[in-house]
Chains A and B, each alone.
Chain A
């Protein structure tokens, strides 16, 4: 059998340290298993004995939590973990993923020494091949990011590739990336070693025990019902891999964990006549959709095909993944690809084709964190076929999260709360993972949108806008217009428009931006998350004053930009709040905050029946009228004066627009241009839109999309939560001191941290960079995540970028750190420090000079502003 060969369970286990390991040590009999009684209570119950569950248990126990029970329905490390191809690779697209993989690598490296269990760890390194220039660019981008976090890697020539691996055909390659410290390891043995170490630290492990469902009392985990009895617990960790979705739904209060399994195939061969050296690097040929590693003298090769086979949609459960059917016909394209890459293998004998389901998530990132609806319910699953690489790091972050209340890194990109209930449809998941799995090896270009699972949430204007040439992108399931293709213009087909260079919509967005600056544009921004908080007494104000850093005790009708901070002063949310009346507030947050913000508010709001929090996102269509003529359009439609004297900036009023009454008009935009936001009850949306468009005609009105918005807001140094701001960024670090009222007369969450930071200074600073010697037509465009160099030293990474049509330059936003040259320690960043530096931005290995600015280019603000709007420049004077 295959798994014996792959050394799933080694018999020569050390004698020591198994006291807490109950049942099934080496395939215990059922009778033996039944005799074991579970403890009646524990602090933490972890479900899943794969690499995730054991890693969480290992890290929790290391951090001092001892009262932990780990339950596994089959045998330890017998699911996807057993079948894992065993490749540990740090070359990931997200920095957080790179860090997780890097930590895992270091952890596994010393695990054998720590536990005495052989893990088969061999530092082979890996080579990522590029058959095309675009692939090479993609690798170069990863390469420059790996280097700055201390993972050695280099771009190498095809000739060098041939030296690293004797069997490779390199004639069709344009280059490659070599990551020498990547490794191969037996993931099952890693899981067993982690379990063993955890067990020595007091974790109790029970296999052949299934979790039936999690018991919840008052929105808090109270215990776990298993097939062998109940366990009371405070924390539950769902590490059930591909069964995590089902397990989440089995609760009375379901927890939606959007993931879905696909069949995954890899080939094992018999040994080569002259076996490769054991440290021959792993090959990833993403253009050929395959990976190849050295395995017991032969090869192991699998891949991510274009036409994946989703499996277990209907939630079929089974104790261990049976050895599923081998499907050679399905594997044929990958086999062809393998033989093209290594022609000499023709005569090599096949041992087996392994079918091992892997779990995928809707956005190709893993899922971790606490459930927004059930406190104490943690999740770590959906590894997109990188479970081994992420196992150590992800387990550590989750353990930190549980022990400290937050992880040491910003993991918003992986947070369970980035998803809503809408991603829990089986049909959606099935369709989406069919797109996600091939995407693992597809070229990842900027501004890529998923094609499946679309048109779920739409504005009532969707059809109207679509008919006018709107091209769409999706955020949190909501369709948002990117730009509007004029009737006479043809854009490239989807496949061709994948580029790292200047995109084909450049001129289209340019004209939209120009219209925003000179006339007036309409942008449908209905996707924003909208909450209403009302109370019978003053509770609403009190709660909000405690939750928000700005002072909300403003006159009725005023709008306040404010952050919702955590204890560390970091942004949990960045929003605008309008005071509708003395006791009710209207809160506008980024689209993807719908779940996160709701959970945060619920968590911190007192259980007071007089306090009402309502999600009104679906009730309002939001139209943004941007541009100097917006005021004319609106006053013509309402017969009300809209000039700044009558309608000052950052002001909110319910008024009539056209025939429709009760439209919330706000004198604000999200780009810094003059204009208004209209929050329209959805039944009036079409009417108001039509009126605006017909009246606006004489002012040159046109539709605009989010790309224009993005260009406008970035050139004005407007940071967005989720891209530039996150839970580890404080207002002081991004020049938003004026949005914090430390002395508003009452405490608010994060105040202490901010006070301290104010005294000590900040360790990073959001800075705007204007690229100097960058040729928009010929050079690679920045995206985000590009390393920033200050005086030749790595100083941070960009968070977002856009082309500014006004400055005719690329603008990047990013954080500048002050790493000590000697120790690498972070030091205080002052305005002076920023201003004195010479900066370069590294785009795929090419460094471009950049001017750093702490404040927006003032010439961009041409309109009259209220004092608060000038906040960023306020700092300048101090």
Chain B
């Protein structure tokens, strides 16, 4: 996966070196970077300041190779204690359990665990989860930002509203519009399930609301009164595209408030991928834009776990995406449109929100930047026009939607940004989560059956099981458990505390060289409910 980049070194010189290498480890790490045969893929290459948007990613051999020197240059060992490690890993964890009513849980979703571990400072990943209140179903999504977190933040706040509105029947839209019109209280559309650290921008809420309202007004106007069935797939695609066009439009129009004006431009000039799942009964839709991934955990009859991928990565590894890009642009661009596995040699994901640099015409870009605030003008990155930029747009936010009908053997869904998938194979991810969840909730019960088991044998077996359980119980959250493995796994596939401690104690500026932001949502399905649905049909 890692691409050899001869470009890296010159680039790094452009950066504010003092900011990256202002630490005591300067020499050592420079050496480290230079000697590295591979340098990591940054999502978006060619990003001058902020400097830490540029990164390198070490290979494993390299890690061992440099260890000796590392100790030499930093005599004091700063190992984190297990509680310290836990407090870092658990800082962003969140769990939601679908409440039971009258002792009955009618939702096909039992609940979800989510967590994120930053590598960038501030983290560029975002996550969202919400229950649709006016329609059935639950929305869950992970968003991987690049060139800052503005776009991923905006998408994480806004996308679910667009989806929910797209799913609403005509009458409900009318009702909402009338309520707004007459200043009455609005029907709540979404119930968010947020970690305290997941914030919403207060300043932009009015602006975002107006854009959303325009959208539903158009939906009301467009309604011909014929089809009452709302197609989830279509709704998802419309919502994605509409939000992206609103982001683009807001940046073009600007805002009289200078803070907001700068904000909408930052949103438009940064980018974000999105992977969103909509679960309603047994109907699971995954809408994906970019290279985050949705993976279904399936438990086979023999108890083993297998992974079913429900999304396609939109990047150079995907033949169909390469094909699409080539078809969308003239033949003479065939070589330049994707270079070194990147869009126009720059961008790793082939689909994304924002990133107007890859969408707007050069004229438009220049016009907006010139009329924009000074901060924008001073920004090298925004001014920079991609090479071979002939026939924009090169980038779209249109998602690819996958439908899956849930079966009782489908136990959970993992949504995660590429930070996870880079470090772990999907099969391992599903196995680790699967074993964790069954260990906690329905560890394979022991039954004596017709076998001859003595009390002593049983006792030995149970003691062993309990010892195993206690290690699993360290994490109350499947996503945390997964991150622990992703960051701390050694060659044997078990968590190595020493490694974990080292990875987590990296200085802020260096963390991004060793890992990407990781954001994970693990959605657990209720097999009983899913089974009941199946029997109904």
Interface residues of A (CB under 8 A from B): 267, 269, 313-316, 325-329, 331-332, 335-336, 338-339, 345-353
Is A345 a contact partner of B465 (Cβ separation < 8 A)?
A: no
**What are the residues of chain B within 8 A of A349 when measuring CB–CB?**
452-455
**Are the CB atoms of B463 and A332 closer together than 8 Å?**
yes
Do the beta carbons of B447 and A326 come within 8 Å of each other? yes
Nearest-Cβ distance from residue A302 to partner chain B, whole angstroms: 14
Residue numbers in B under 8 Å from A331 (CB-CB): 462
CA distance A328 to B453 in the complex (A): 13
Q: Do A329 and B462 touch (CB < 8 A)?
A: yes
Task: Note all chain A residues with C-beta closer than 8 A to B102.
Answer: 314
User: Bound complex: CA of A64 vs CA of B453, how far in Å?
Assistant: 53
Q: Is the CB–CB distance between A326 and B445 below 8 Å?
A: yes
The answer on a CB contact under 8 Å between B454 and A347 is: yes
The answer to whether A350 touches B459, judged by C-beta atoms less than 8 angstroms apart, is no
In the assembled complex, B456 has its CB within 8 A of some CB on chain A: yes
**Residue from B103, B452, B454 in contact with A315 in the complex, judged by beta carbons closer than 8 Å:** B103
With a cutoff of 8 Å between Cβ atoms, the chain A residues found around residue B458 in the complex are: 328, 335, 350
Which residue of chain B lies nearest to A352 when distances are taken between CB atoms in the complex? B448
Cα–Cα distance between A455 and B407 once the two chains are bound (Å): 45
Name B455's contact: one of A314, A316, A339 (CB within 8 Å): A339
Q: Which residue of A lies closest to B460 (CB)?
A: A346
- In whole angstroms, what is the CA distance A871 to B455 when docked? 67
Minimum CB–CB distance from B183 to chain A (whole Å) comes to 38
B1 at the interface (CB under 8 A from A): no
Choose one: B443, B448, B454; the contact of A329 (CB below 8 Å). Answer: B443
- Whether B446 sits at the interface, judged by CB under 8 Å, is yes
Bound complex: CA A346 to CA B459 (Å): 9
Identity of the chain B residue whose Cβ is nearest the Cβ of A267 in the assembled complex: B455
Q: How many angstroms from the CA of A346 to the CA of B456 in the assembled complex?
A: 4
Q: Lowest 8 CB-CB distances: which A-B pairs, in order?
A: A314-B103, A346-B456, A332-B462, A328-B446, A350-B453, A345-B455, A347-B454, A350-B448
Check if A314 sits within 8 Å of B459, measured CB to CB: no
Chain A residue with minimal CB distance to B103? Answer: A314
Given contacts A314-B103, A316-B103, A335-B462, contact A347 B456 (CB under 8 A): yes
Within 8 A of A (CB), among B83-138: 100, 102-104
Check A336–B459 contact: CB distance below 8 A. yes
Total A-B contacts with CB atoms under 8 angstroms apart: 65
Across the interface, name the chain B residue whose C-beta is closest to A336: B459
- Distance, CA A519 to CA B204, complexed state (A): 65
The complex places the Cα of A313 from the Cα of B103 at a distance, in Å, of: 8
B202 CB within 8 Å of chain A:
no
Q: Contacts A314-B103, A314-B104, A332-B462: A327 and B445 contacting too (C-beta < 8 A)? A: yes
Distance in angstroms from B211 CB to nearest chain A CB is 44
Please indicate the chain B residues that have their CB under 8 angstroms from the CB of A313 in the complex: 103
Q: List 11 A-B contacts (CB under 8 A).
A: A314-B104, A315-B103, A329-B465, A329-B466, A331-B462, A332-B459, A332-B462, A335-B459, A348-B455, A350-B453, A350-B455
Q: Min CB distance, A291 to chain B, in Å?
A: 16
The distance from the CB of A854 to the nearest CB of chain B, in whole angstroms, is 57
Asked if B465 and A338 sit within 8 Å, CB to CB, the answer is: no
Tell me the bound Cα distance from A345 to B457 in angstroms: 11
- Cβ of B269 to closest chain A Cβ, rounded Å: 52
B-side contacts of A267, CB under 8 Å: 455
User: When A313-B103, A315-B103 are in contact, do A325 and B445 touch as well, CB less than 8 Å?
Assistant: yes
Asked whether A346 lies within 8 Å of B446 as measured between CB atoms, the reply is: no
A338 to B452, CA, bound (A): 19
CA distance A314 to B103 in the complex (A): 5
Candidate in A315, A332, A336 with the most chain B CB atoms within 10 angstroms: A332
* Additional A-B contacts beyond A336-B459, A348-B454, A352-B448 (18; CB < 8 A): A314-B100, A326-B445, A328-B462, A329-B445, A329-B462, A329-B465, A331-B462, A332-B463, A332-B465, A332-B466, A335-B455, A336-B463, A345-B455, A347-B456, A349-B452, A349-B455, A350-B448, A350-B458
Q: Which of B103, B452, B453, B456 makes the CB contact (< 8 A) with A339?
A: B456
- Residues in A with CB closer than 8 Å to B455 are 267, 269, 335, 338-339, 345-350
Bound form: Cα–Cα A267–B455 in Å: 10
User: Nearest chain-B residue to A339 (Cβ)?
Assistant: B459
Report yes or no: B103 in contact with A328, Cβ–Cβ below 8 A: no
Report the minimal beta-carbon distance from B469 to chain A, rounded to whole angstroms. 8
Q: Which has the most chain A C-beta neighbours within 10 Å: B448, B455, B466, B469?
A: B455
Assembled-state Cα–Cα distance A350/B458 (Å): 9
Given contacts A339-B459, A346-B454, contact A329 B446 (CB under 8 A): yes
| B423-474, CB < 8 A from A | 443, 445-448, 452-456, 458-459, 462-463, 465-466, 469
Which residues of chain A come closer than 8 Å to B453, judged between CB atoms? 349-350
Cβ of A326: which chain B residues have Cβ within 8 Å of it? 445-448
* Contact of B459 with A353 in the complex, beta carbons under 8 Å: no
A53 to B59, CA, bound (A): 74
Give the residues in chain A near B446, CB-CB below 8 Å: 326, 328-329
A326, A336, A346, A352: residue with the most chain B Cβ atoms closer than 10 Å: A346
Taken together as a complex, chains A and B put the C-alpha atoms of A336 and B446 apart, in Å, by 16
Q: Which residues of A contact B448 (CB under 8 A)?
A: 326, 350-353
Q: Once bound together, how far apart are the Cα atoms of A346 and B453, in whole Å?
A: 10
Contact residues in B for A351 (Cβ distance below 8 Å) = 448
With the chains together, A641 CA to B136 CA distance in Å?
71
* Cα of A335 to Cα of B466 in the assembled complex, Å: 13
Residues of chain A within 8 A (CB-CB) of B463 are 332, 336
Q: Are A350 and B454 in contact (CB under 8 A)?
A: yes
**Most chain A CB inside 10 Å of its own CB: which residue of B452, B454, B463, B466:** B454
- The distance in angstroms between the C-alpha atoms of A360 and B59, with both chains bound, is 60
A336 to B455, CA, bound (A): 9
Residues from chain B with Cβ under 8 Å of A345 in the complex? 455-456
| Contact bitstring B129-166, A, C-beta under 8 A = 1, else 0 | 00000000000000000000000000000000000000
A353–B455 CA distance with the chains assembled, in angstroms: 11
CB-CB nearest in chain A for B448 = A350
Chain B hits for A353, CB < 8 A = 448
User: Bound complex: CA of A336 vs CA of B443, how far in Å?
Assistant: 20
State the CA gap A62–B446 with chains docked (Å): 48
A349 to B462, CA, bound (A): 16
Question: Which residues on the B side are within 8 Å of A327 (C-beta)?
Answer: 445
**Distance of A702 from chain B, by nearest CB (Å):** 43
Q: B447: which A residues are within 8 A, CB to CB?
A: 326
CA distance A324 to B463 in the complex (A): 23
Residues of B within 8 A of A332 (CB): 459, 462-463, 465-466
List of B residues within 8 angstroms of A347 by Cβ: 454-456
Q: In the complex, what residue of chain A is closest to B452 when comparing beta carbons?
A: A349
Interface centre among A313, A339, A349 (most CB of B within 10 A): A349
A418–B104 Cα distance when bound, in Å, is 32
In the complex, which residue of chain A has the Cβ closest to the Cβ of B462?
Answer: A332
- In whole angstroms, how far apart are the Cα atoms of A313 and B100 in the complex? 12
CA distance A351 to B453 in the complex (A): 8
Residue of B nearest to A331 (CB): B462
**A316 / chain B contacts, CB cutoff of 8 Å:** 103
Asked whether, in the complex, the Cβ of A328 is within 8 Å of the Cβ of B445, the reply is: yes
Q: Smallest CB–CB gap between A334 and chain B, Å?
A: 10
Q: Which residues of A contact B445 (CB under 8 A)?
A: 325-329
Q: How far is the CA of A331 from the CA of B466 in the complex (A)?
A: 11
In angstroms, Cα B445 to Cα A325, docked, is 9
Which residue from chain B places its CB closest to the CB of A332 in the assembled complex? Answer: B462
Q: How far apart sit A269 and B448, CA to CA, in the bound complex (Å)?
A: 11
Cα-based distance from A346 to B457 in the complex (angstroms): 7
Residues of B within 8 A of A346 (CB): 454-456, 459
B466 contacts across to A, CB distance below 8 A = 329, 332
**CB-CB nearest in chain B for A326:** B447
> Considering only CB atoms, which chain B residue lies closest to A313 in the complex?
B103
Task: Give A623 Cβ to nearest chain B Cβ, in Å.
Answer: 42
Bitwise, B458-499 to A at CB < 8 A (1) or not (0) is 110011011001000000000000000000000000000000
In the assembled complex, how far is the CB of residue B416 from the closest CB belonging to chain A, in whole angstroms? Answer: 31
- By a CB distance below 8 angstroms, the chain B residues around A315 are 103
User: In whole angstroms, how far apart are the Cα atoms of A316 and B102 in the complex?
Assistant: 10
CB distance from B444 to the nearest CB of A (A): 10
Whole-angstrom CA separation of A345 from B454 in the bound complex: 8
